[in-house]
Amino acid sequence: MNTTETTKEEQTFSMPRIGDKAPEFTAVTTQGHINFPSDYKGEWSILFSHPADFTPVCTSEFMTFAHQEEKFKKANCNLIGLSIDGLYSHIAWLRTIKEKIKFNGMENVEVKFPLIEDISMNVAKKYGMVMPGESENQAVRAVFFVDPKGIVRAIIYYPLSLGRNFDELYRALIAMQTSDKFNVATPADWNPGDDVIVSPAGSCGVAEERMTATDELECHDWFFCTKKLDKDLVLNEILQK
């Protein structure tokens, strides 16, 4: 493989990893220019890509995200969409959604969050959103959670044919914020109000204390201890009034 081919492959497949600083970019969107992630400093963001405008699965997703935007806003989280389409295509598609499309009980849905124009594929390549095995000219359904410090905290990828689960995206956002706020981990299928996991004991002494203590911890074994975390406490600390 020559240098040109190597560079092209790296541009296509490279993607930031969890814990990396989110790649910076300036872009034209349906809500004006944005500088990412600097415009969203101090807030969470979900940057997500979709394959193309005027496609049915993408339409269902944008309607769902728009319908839930206020819920994400209350959790201090911005939504930013992207596809490899032009601005005028974006505008026409969003107008069509509002004026003509009914889905899952939703209609007259106005998409108010920014949708990035990325005809050059510059942003999609920075974030590894184009996967030639799936499509060479469309972005897969990528989701990047970026925290208030501009750090990538979670990444989820879906194929072109699979619409995303938006309840899970919201659950993941709240779970990460809960972990940050209360210094805990969240177990499988966790939702606010469920027990949380305390970090494993770092020494034999601490492990013994946990197994014999009668405090708020419930230890199933030395490495697996949980405690209750009140749902209202979690939501009052995280959600903006």
Cβ neighbours for 197, distance < 8 A, ≥ 6 positions apart = 184, 185, 186, 187, 224, 225, 226
Instruction: Domain 3-164: state its class.
Output: alpha beta
pLDDT above 90 as % of the chain: 77
Instruction: Delimit the domains of the chain by residue range.
Output: 3-164, 183-238
**Which pLDDT value is given to residue 241?**
61
- The helix/strand/coil state of 196 is strand
Instruction: Domain 183-238: state its class.
Output: alpha beta
Q: CA dihedral defined by 196, 199, 200, 202, rounded to 10 degrees?
A: -160
Residues 152-179: what's their mean pLDDT? Answer: 96
Lowest mean pLDDT among 12-26, 37-51, 100-114: 12-26
**Which pLDDT value is given to residue 220?**
81
Catalytic residue among 58, 77, 219, 225: 58
- Residue 219: active-site member: no
pLDDT of 31 > 90? The answer is yes
Whether the CB-CB separation of 109 and 77 falls below 8 Å is answered with no
141 marked among binding-site residues: yes
Whether the CB-CB separation of 141 and 158 falls below 8 Å is answered with yes
**Which pLDDT value is given to residue 108?**
97
What is the band of 1 on the pLDDT scale with cuts at 50, 70, 90?
very low
pLDDT of 72 > 60? The answer is yes
Average pLDDT of the residues of the chain: 90
Lowest mean pLDDT among 80-89, 197-206, 212-221: 197-206
**pTM for the full predicted model:** 0.89
Whether the CB-CB separation of 117 and 86 falls below 8 Å is answered with yes
